[in-house]
């Protein structure tokens, strides 16, 4: 689920960014291209138009030159006029070549060659007059101008105008083409923008939903972490208190019981000293008193030491220590405890024996505090690769998942067992008694070192 | 002359025991061992009649040392010296084959009797042990709503029971009562059934508890 959302969002965001970049660059470039095309079309039109205007202008100049020549009576000027006319002729020819370059196709070409023919014919018709004598000029000039130059010039101007119209039509055609391409691009732009919008919306919806889910989840996790931390603080406080309590009670017992007894012993020894002179019976009585006091002190110290860690565990092994503990518990609480030992517990490593012993101790302490049991059954089964322990009581039970289920005792049990990679199972319920089951594996390789 | 070997890891205890024992002309302390292994070695070298064995010793504890000594010399009389009056210790001591069980707190009073009894191949248990065992026993019976069934035994069964608990074999018991060993075996089986006992050690424990032997 998580990785799929991540993939979808990555693809969505990637596409979105790509689209925006494409739109931005594409639109700018397209607009620039359209503008350039429009400008160049207009430029071409203007240049053609200028040429088309210049041809009739040159023609008119040539007409004026011809008229001047015809009116000039002296023949000596003829070569000069001829030179000017030739220059004009070649200028017009150049302009025609320029036009031919600009207008290359179909209709225009026909009009253009007509124009060229017409112009050539015009120049041909002009040629003979340069050889005329002054008399010829007087006689023919008027007729020549009216019958030859004028109509031909008219024809040329008409043709130039025609080509001009074609040129204008070309411009309009180009403009229409550009307009169409512009519209096509705009519709592409609209579609792309619409797609980007929809995609953006989808990505936004998915992201928002995802963020909401993650936020809720992290909120829950923070709540859990806070609860765990509070619980930890509570437990460590309890642990410190418990340790202090234990020290206090140990100190009190040492002071009250052992200390008092040793004080009494000192006193008794003083008595003894003062009775040295008295009768042997009196002396023996004092001695017996001192001896029994000493024995009682010894018992007290032994009980204290056994409570801390029974020597039995080290001297006799786990089985006897468990049986002893069961009996001691019975003695103190009045609840009968059955202890069943199977298999080989003595082969267990020291760490395992201590663990099992402490688990039984803690569980019995819990039983004494809360269970109100009438009978307790402890069974331990040891094998070469694991040890199993089960402690069952018929007491009031408790809710193992309940808020107050995890007291220090249970946590201590769980920590000890977890340390050895074992498992603790607690089956209980109100008025159902309690079964604590522990299974701890034994790693021979490690244990044997 | 009773030859005694003392095994205890505390020098003060060894010295105290030696002082007490050497007050008697019939007793000679032939050696002292400071740990279990040394005790096994000295027992083999010196062949003492009685070995005073502390339980909590380094290098092989007293119970293990007892078992090893008796494996090589079944006639050796071992008295376990202990600060514990708990049943578990007694059971272990008996299982290992010890003949006596002496509490250190009453060693000065009972020491001589214990050594003499064990030297004569009899059992000896500190009265305080019997007291603890009995208290435990009575309490357990009461908690479980059970009754002591000693009174179910016939007079003859009680006599046989005492002799067996003192460590005599069926053959020896048969000789005393001029019965056949088979009859004694039958008695033994019935006694064990009636008292709900399952082993020779159980039988001795029961006898100690009831102060039938001490």
Contact B89 A312 (CB under 8 A): yes
| Residue-averaged pLDDT of chain A | 85
CA distance B27 to B4: 7
pLDDT of residue A449: 37
Instruction: Name residue, tokens 């505090």.
Output: A369
> With a cut of 0.85, is the ipTM above it?
no
Q: Count Cβ–Cβ pairs < 8 Å, chain A vs chain B.
A: 49
CA distance A227 to A132: 126
Contact A312 B61 (CB under 8 A): no
Is residue B61 over pLDDT 70?
yes
Asked if A339 is an interface residue toward chain B (Cβ–Cβ < 8 A), one would say no
Closest by Cβ to A327, choosing from B84, B106, B136:
B136
Residues from B contacting A (CB-CB < 8 Å) are 55-56, 61, 63, 83-84, 86-89, 91-92, 104-106, 108, 136, 139-140, 143-144
Closest by Cβ to A330, choosing from B63, B108, B139:
B139
pLDDT of residue A3: 64
- Give mean pLDDT, residues A191-208: 89
Q: Which residue has the higher pLDDT, A435 or A71?
A: A435
Asked if A315 is an interface residue toward chain B (Cβ–Cβ < 8 A), one would say yes
Is residue A61 over pLDDT 90?
no
CA distance B4 to B29: 5
Asked if A335 is an interface residue toward chain B (Cβ–Cβ < 8 A), one would say yes
Q: Which residue has the higher pLDDT, B69 or A242?
A: B69
CB half-sphere exposure, A231, CA atoms < 13 A: 13
pLDDT of residue A389: 95
Q: Which tokens in the block code for residue A197?
A: 């919008």
Is residue A346 over pLDDT 50?
yes
CA distance A373 to A336: 9
Backbone angles phi and psi of A273, in degrees to 5? -60, -45
Which residue from A310, A377, A105 is spatially nearest to B56, judged by alpha carbons?
A: A310
Q: Search chain B and give the residue with CA nearest A315.
A: B56
Burial class (CB in 10 A: 0-12, 13-18, 19+), A325: buried
Q: Which residues of B touch A335 (CB under 8 A)?
A: 143
CA distance B73 to B62: 16
CA distance B36 to A270: 39
List the single range of A244-248, A332-336, A428-432 with lowest mean pLDDT.
A428-432
Is residue A4 over pLDDT 80?
no
Contact A320 B91 (CB under 8 A): yes
Q: How confident is the model at residue A448 (pLDDT cuts 50, 70, 90)?
A: very low
Contact A315 B144 (CB under 8 A): no
Q: How far is A322 from chain B (nearest CA, A)?
A: 10
Q: Which residue has the higher pLDDT, A138 or A218?
A: A218
Is residue A164 over pLDDT 50?
yes
Rg (CA), chain A: 62
In A, residues 266-305, which contact B (CB 8 Å cutoff)? 291, 294-295, 298-299, 302
Q: How far is B64 from chain A (nearest CA, A)?
A: 10
Contact A302 B83 (CB under 8 A): yes
Is residue A424 over pLDDT 70?
yes
Q: Which residues of B touch A336 (CB under 8 A)?
A: 140, 143-144
Regarding pTM above 0.90, the answer is no
User: DSSP strand E in chain B: where?
Assistant: 2-7, 27-33, 50-54, 77-82, 100-103, 124-125
pLDDT of residue B30: 95
Q: What is the pLDDT of residues B38-57, one digit of tens each?
A: 999 999 999 999 999 998 88
Contact A324 B139 (CB under 8 A): no
Contact A336 B143 (CB under 8 A): yes
| Residue-averaged pLDDT of chain B | 88
Closest by Cβ to B88, choosing from A295, A316, A334:
A316
pLDDT of residue A116: 83
Contact A335 B143 (CB under 8 A): yes
Do the strands B2-7 and B27-33 form a parallel or antiparallel pair, or are they unpaired? parallel
Q: What angle do CA A52, A57, A63 make, to 5 degrees?
A: 135
Q: Which residues of A touch B87 (CB under 8 A)?
A: 323-324, 327
DSSP state of B147: -
Residues forming beta bridges with residue A201, ordered by sequence position? none
Q: What is the pLDDT of residues B101-146, one digit of tens each?
A: 998 888 888 899 999 999 998 889 888 888 887 777 777 777 777 7
Q: Which residues of A touch B86 (CB under 8 A)?
A: 312, 324, 327
- Give mean pLDDT, residues B10-15: 90
Contact A324 B92 (CB under 8 A): no
- Give mean pLDDT, residues A395-424: 80
* Sign of the torsion angle spanned by Cα atoms A239, A240, A242, A247: positive
Q: Search chain B and give the residue with CA nearest A323.
A: B88
pLDDT of residue A447: 43
Report whether B186 contacts B76 (CB < 8 A). no
The distance between the two most distant Cα atoms of chain A, rounded to a whole number of Å, is 201
CA distance A185 to A26: 10
DSSP state of B9: S
Q: Which residues of A touch B139 (CB under 8 A)?
A: 330-331
Contact B63 A315 (CB under 8 A): yes
The top-scoring range by mean pLDDT among A108-112, A118-122, A376-380, B184-188 is A376-380
Q: How far is A274 from chain B (nearest CA, A)?
A: 24
pLDDT of residue A106: 63
CA distance B46 to B33: 12
Helix A2-71, helix A78-102: angle, nearest 10: 160
* Residues contacting A380, CB < 8 A, separation 6+: A318, A319, A322, A339, A340, A341, A342, A345, A356, A387, A388, A389, A390
DSSP state of B21: H
* Residue A41 CA: distances (Å) to CA of A175, A255, A400: 8, 116, 91
Which residue from B195, B178, B201, B172 is spatially nearest to B97, judged by alpha carbons?
A: B201
Report whether A192 contacts A27 (CB < 8 A). no
Report whether B22 contacts B52 (CB < 8 A). no
């Amino acid at each position: 689920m998580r990785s799929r959302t991540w993939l979808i969002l990555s693809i969505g965001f990637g596409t979105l960014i790509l689209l925006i970049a494409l739109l931005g660059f594409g639109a700018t470039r397209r607009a620039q291209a359209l503008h350039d095309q429009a400008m160049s079309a207009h430029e071409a039109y203007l240049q053609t138009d200028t040429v088309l205007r210049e041809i009739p202008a040159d023609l008119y100049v040539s007409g004026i030159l011809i008229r001047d020549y015809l009116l000039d009576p002296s023949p000596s000027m003829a070569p000069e006029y001829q030179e000017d006319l030739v220059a004009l002729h070649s200028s017009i020819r150049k302009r025609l070549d320029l036009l031919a370059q600009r207008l290359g196709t179909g209709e225009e070409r026909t009009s253009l060659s007509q124009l060229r023919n017409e112009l050539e014919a015009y120049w041909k018709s002009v040629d003979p007059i340069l050889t005329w004598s002054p008399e010829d000029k007087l006689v023919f000039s008027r007729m020549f101008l009216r019958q030859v130059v004028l109509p031909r010039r008219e024809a040329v101007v008409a043709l130039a105008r025609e080509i001009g119209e074609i040129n204008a039509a070309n411009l309009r055609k180009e403009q229409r083409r550009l307009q169409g391409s512009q519209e096509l691009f705009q519709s592409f732009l609209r579609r792309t923008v619409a797609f980007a919008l929809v995609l953006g919306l989808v990505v936004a919806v998915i992201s928002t939903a995802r963020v909401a889910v993650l936020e809720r989840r992290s909120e829950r996790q923070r709540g859990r972490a806070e609860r765990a931390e509070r619980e930890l603080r509570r437990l460590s406080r309890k642990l410190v208190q418990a340790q202090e309590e234990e020290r206090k009670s140990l100190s009190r017992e040492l002071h009250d019981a052992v200390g008092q007894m040793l004080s009494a012993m000192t006193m008794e020894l003083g008595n003894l000293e003062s009775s040295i002179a008295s009768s042997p019976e009196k002396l023996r009585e004092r001695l017996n008193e001192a001896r029994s006091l000493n024995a009682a002190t010894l018992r007290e110290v032994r009980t204290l030491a056994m409570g801390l860690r029974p020597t039995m565990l080290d001297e006799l092994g786990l089985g006897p220590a468990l049986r002893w503990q069961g009996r001691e518990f019975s003695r103190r609480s009045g609840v009968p405890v059955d202890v069943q030992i199977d298999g080989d517990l003595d082969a267990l490593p020291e760490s395992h024996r201590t663990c099992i012993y402490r688990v039984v101790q803690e569980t019995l302490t819990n039983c004494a505090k809360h269970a109100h049991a009438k009978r307790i059954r402890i069974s331990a089964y040891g094998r070469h690769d694991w040890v199993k322990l089960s402690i069952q009581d018929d007491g009031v039970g408790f809710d193992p998942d309940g808020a107050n289920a995890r007291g220090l005792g249970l946590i201590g049990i769980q920590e000890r067992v977890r340390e050895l990679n074992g498992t603790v199972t607690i089956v209980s319920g109100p008025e159902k008694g309690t079964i604590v089951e522990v299974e701890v594996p034994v790693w021979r390789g490690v244990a044997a070192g | 002359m009773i030859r005694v070997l003392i095994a205890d890891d505390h020098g003060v205890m060894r010295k105290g025991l030696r002082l007490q024992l050497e007050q008697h002309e019939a007793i000679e302390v032939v050696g002292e061992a400071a740990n279990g292994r040394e005790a096994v070695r000295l027992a083999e070298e010196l062949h003492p009649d009685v070995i005073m064995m502390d339980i909590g010793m380094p290098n092989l504890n007293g119970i293990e040392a007892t078992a090893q000594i008796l494996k090589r010399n079944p006639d050796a009389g071992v008295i376990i010296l202990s600060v514990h009056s708990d049943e578990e210790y007694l059971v272990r001591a008996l299982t290992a084959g010890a003949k006596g069980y002496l509490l250190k707190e009453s060693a000065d009073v009972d020491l001589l009797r214990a050594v003499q009894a064990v030297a004569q191949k009899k059992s000896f248990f500190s009265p305080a042990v019997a007291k603890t065992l009995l208290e435990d026993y009575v309490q357990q019976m009461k908690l479980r709503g059970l009754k002591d069934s000693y009174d179910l035994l016939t007079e003859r069964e009680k006599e046989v029971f005492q002799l067996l608990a003192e460590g005599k074999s069926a053959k020896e018991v048969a000789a005393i009562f001029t019965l056949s060993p088979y009859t004694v075996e039958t008695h033994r089986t019935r006694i064990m059934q009636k008292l709900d006992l399952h082993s020779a050690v159980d039988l001795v424990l029961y006898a100690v508890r009831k102060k039938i032997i001490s």
